[in-house]
Structure formats: structure tokens, C-alpha cells
């Protein structure tokens, strides 16, 4: 029996592939342009620090995007800010008051901001010349949090997340420095996080780091894909396999990834997206897939172009 997220769609089924892995297949004939699946907000994500004033913390709208009217964002950064008292080292920025209110209602948003403040303080301390401090940084309004709130933030998604493919061995084999880097991250977090979060650190850090490579999606500035603003792991979306002739295209609207058919699809056909730029020659596509997703593509297009 297959385990994984429940796909509330009449169009898709999670099945075992002929290669032994899992993938999504068409449960029925599907016309072109049909939305077959939507994956809500990411389980884990990061917006790169240089972009955090330009990217809405809730919907990921990019202030410097061509789609945003210049009159709406004169300085090309968002002006609505959440910066709770005691967390001067961290702030979240928003494109609208509605996005800010939505973000504040979700317990994980404020928790993330407090964690970011703690980690920023620890990072600054670690960079001071000769600093050997192991003190845990102040955590602002941590007294307002409860163990139940923290547990609930993980409960709904953690089990499903663990069903996502673990790429730890393949990733470390690709670059042996990665293991030492991951261990340094773990050591840093053990020093930086407040004690009541340390019980989650060993398992959580390793499981996330083992799955981000090969499962994460880039958070881009828009259709032009000129700038990658960060990345996120959308659990159900990670079950779409790759093809260099994909029949599914993905579109991000706010925090949600939508998947639509790019052509008519027959019942039983595997539903595939593209992990790489399909305009590249076959040699470059194979190189990119092997280095970042740890497999060599055997789709019909690659086989045809490799023989040419």
C-alpha cells in the first residue's frame, strides 16, 4: 500500500512506477489546460536574506517584478512591516495589510520570525573575532508560545514530509563536503536555539536537509524566471516526476503551486513536469539532472537526441 499525501483530485493517482519509485498518473482522460492538482503553502521554505524586503512573507509577491506597477511600489521594496518588540534583529515585510493579517494568524509565521531573530543574533556573535560564547540568544516574546502551539505547527505535515524521497546518500556522494556542512548547521542550531526547541533539532535538521535537494522548488520572481528569490518544499508537488517533454506545467499563485495539463493526457499516463530548462541540449540537461536530482533521464526525447 502506498503512503503519502492524499490527493483530493479526480484526475491524479499515486502509483508505483516501473522503476520502483512513486509518481502521479492520470486517473482518467484529461483535456489540455486542466488543473489537476494544487499544492498549498510549502512545508519548509526560505527567502534569501537579500530579498526579504522585496518579497512578501505571506504570498511571495516580488516588489521589483515587472508585474507590479511602479506607482504601487515606488522604492521597489514593500513598506508594510511586522517587527515585534524585542525582535529588532528580524522583521517580515508584506505587500498588503491582508497578507500581514493572514501571516499573523498562522502560528508558524511569528514563530519563524522569532527563530530568525535568535539565529541572526547567534550568527553575529559567532563572527566576532575570538568569540567563544555558547549563550543562547534572547528569544523575544517566547513566553507567549506553548509546547502545544509548537507541536501543532509540525503535526499536520511532518508525517507526510517523511514520505518524500530521502536523498542524503546521493547528495553526500555528489559532494563529500556536504556532510560536514550539514553537521556544522546542526551544531550551530544546537547553540542558537532555545532549550525547549532542542528536542526537535537532531531529527528535524537531518530529515529536512536530507530532502531539500531533489525535492525543493525555486521561488522565482515571476514567469520570466530572471531571479530566484528562495526555495520551498511543497510536499505533494514533489511526487511529480521529470520529463524533458512534460505534459504538466506548474504555475505559482501566492503560496500555492498549481499544476495544469499542457496537452491532452490519456488515462494511465504518467504526469510529469520538467525539472530543468528543456531548451538546453540533451548533454546539459543530463548534467543538470545528475548533479541536482541524482538520475539520468531516460525519456523518449533524451533517447532520441542522444542517438542523433
Q: Which of the pair, 179 or 139, is modelled with greater confidence?
A: 179
As given in the structure block, the three cell numbers for residue 258 are 498549481
pLDDT value of residue 116: 81
pLDDT value of residue 123: 78
- Mind listing the pLDDT tens digit for each residue in 197-241? 777 777 888 898 899 888 999 999 875 667 899 999 999 999 999
Reading phi first (left if > 0) and then psi (alpha if -120 to 50, else beta), residue 67 is in alpha
**pLDDT band, residue 161 (cuts 50/70/90):** confident
- Paired with 260 in beta bridges are 35, 249
User: Per mean pLDDT, which of 52-66, 175-189, 252-266 is the most reliable?
Assistant: 252-266
Q: Which of the pair, 242 or 153, is modelled with greater confidence?
A: 242
How is the chain split into domains, by residue range? 12-40+234-306, 45-126+153-213
When mean pLDDT is compared across 55-59, 139-143, 243-247, 256-260, the lowest value belongs to 139-143
**pLDDT band, residue 174 (cuts 50/70/90):** confident
Number of Cβ within 10 Å of residue 302's Cβ equals: 19
Q: Regarding the domain with residue range 12-40+234-306, which homologous superfamily does it belong to in the CATH classification?
A: SET domain (2.170.270.10)
- Mind listing the pLDDT tens digit for each residue in 112-140? 887 887 787 777 777 764 544 444 333 34
Residues 6+ apart with CB under 8 A from 81: 91, 92, 93, 94
* Sheet strands (E) in the chain: 12-16, 22-26, 35-39, 44-47, 80-82, 92-94, 217-220, 228-233, 241-242, 248-253, 256-261, 272-273
Reading phi first (left if > 0) and then psi (alpha if -120 to 50, else beta), residue 268 is in left
**Cell 537526441 -> residue:** 305
Q: Which of the pair, 70 or 225, is modelled with greater confidence?
A: 225
**Cell 530568525 -> residue:** 116
Q: Is the pTM of this model over 0.85?
A: no
- Mind listing the pLDDT tens digit for each residue in 7-54? 778 999 999 988 878 999 999 999 999 999 999 889 989 999 899 999
For residue 175, pLDDT over 70 is answered with yes
Amino acid at each position: 500500500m502506498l503512503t503519502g499525501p492524499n490527493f483530493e483530485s479526480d484526475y491524479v493517482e499515486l502509483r508505483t512506477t516501473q522503476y520502483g519509485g512513486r509518481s502521479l498518473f492520470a486517473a482518467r482522460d484529461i483535456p489540455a489546460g486542466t488543473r489537476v492538482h494544487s499544492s498549498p503553502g510549502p512545508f519548509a521554505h526560505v527567502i534569501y536574506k537579500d530579498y526579504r524586503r522585496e518579497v512578501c512573507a505571506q504570498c511571495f509577491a516580488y516588489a521589483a517584478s515587472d508585474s507590479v506597477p511602479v506607482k504601487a511600489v515606488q522604492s521597489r521594496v514593500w513598506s508594510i512591516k511586522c517587527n515585534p518588540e524585542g525582535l529588532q534583529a528580524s522583521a517580515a515585510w508584506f505587500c498588503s495589510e491582508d497578507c500581514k493579517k493572514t501571516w499573523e494568524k498562522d502560528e508558524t509565521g511569528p514563530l519563524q520570525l522569532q527563530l530568525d531573530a535568535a539565529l541572526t543574533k547567534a550568527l553575529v556573535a559567532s563572527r566576532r573575532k575570538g568569540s567563544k560564547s555558547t549563550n543562547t540568544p534572547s528569544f523575544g516574546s517566547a513566553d507567549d508560545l506553548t509546547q502545544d502551539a509548537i507541536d501543532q505547527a509540525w503535526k499536520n505535515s511532518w508525517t507526510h514530509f517523511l514520505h518524500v524521497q530521502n536523498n542524503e546518500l546521493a547528495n553526500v556522494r555528489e559532494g563529500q563536503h556536504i556532510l560536514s556542512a550539514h553537521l556544522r548547521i546542526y551544531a550551530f542550531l544546537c547553540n542558537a536555539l532555545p532549550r525547549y526547541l532542542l528536542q526537535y533539532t537532531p531529527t528535524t535538521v537531518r530529515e529536512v536537509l536530507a530532502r531539500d535537494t531533489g525535492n525543493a522548488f525555486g521561488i522565482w520572481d515571476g514567469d520570466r524566471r530572471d531571479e530566484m528569490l528562495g526555495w520551498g518544499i511543497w510536499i505533494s508537488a514533489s511526487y511529480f516526476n521529470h520529463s524533458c517533454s512534460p505534459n504538466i506545467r506548474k504555475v505559482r499563485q501566492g503560496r500555492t503551486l498549481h499544476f495544469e495539463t499542457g496537452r491532452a493526457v490519456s488515462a494511465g499516463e504518467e504526469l510529469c513536469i520538467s525539472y530543468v530548462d528543456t531548451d538546453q541540449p540533451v548533454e546539459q540537461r543530463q548534467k543538470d539532472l545528475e548533479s541536482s536530482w541524482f538520475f539520468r533521464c531516460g525519456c523518449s526525447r533524451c533517447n532520441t537526441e542522444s542517438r542523433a
